[in-house]
Amino acid sequence: MTIDGEIIEEACSETESHQLEYFYRVAKPTDQQATEFRMRWDAQNLYASFVCKEQFITARERSRDARPYFDALLITKMTL
């Protein structure tokens, strides 16, 4: 498997697609945003892919060499 940001390999299409539940309050149902994820593993690695359809992109860190990690926070727990 090639890790290149493209989710087009046959191995990816063989995995089951799951949707993350949108847990933020929204003003309108059309404001909800979809996130799809897939997982696959072999003897050495765990592969995870995420496709996030973001309608409202907000970026406070815009200058060169800024700290974009201050713009978002993801906390996740995976149990196998």
Classified as helix, coil or strand, 68 is: helix
The pLDDT of residue 79 is 56
Q: pLDDT confidence of 74, banded at 50, 70, 90?
A: low
Smallest Cα–Cα separation from 48: which of 61, 62, 30, 35? Answer: 35
Distances in Å between the Cα of 14 and the Cα atoms of 10, 40, 55 are 6, 9, 28
Query: How far is it, in rounded angstroms, from Cα 69 to Cα 80?
Result: 27
pLDDT band at 80 (very low <50, low <70, confident <90, very high): low
Q: Is 70 exceeded by the pLDDT of residue 73?
A: no
pTM for this prediction:
0.53
CA 61 to chain centre: 20
| Nearest in space to 51 (alpha carbons), one of 20, 75, 14, 16 | 20
33-70 pLDDT, tens per residue?
Answer: 788 888 888 888 888 888 877 777 777 777 888 776 66
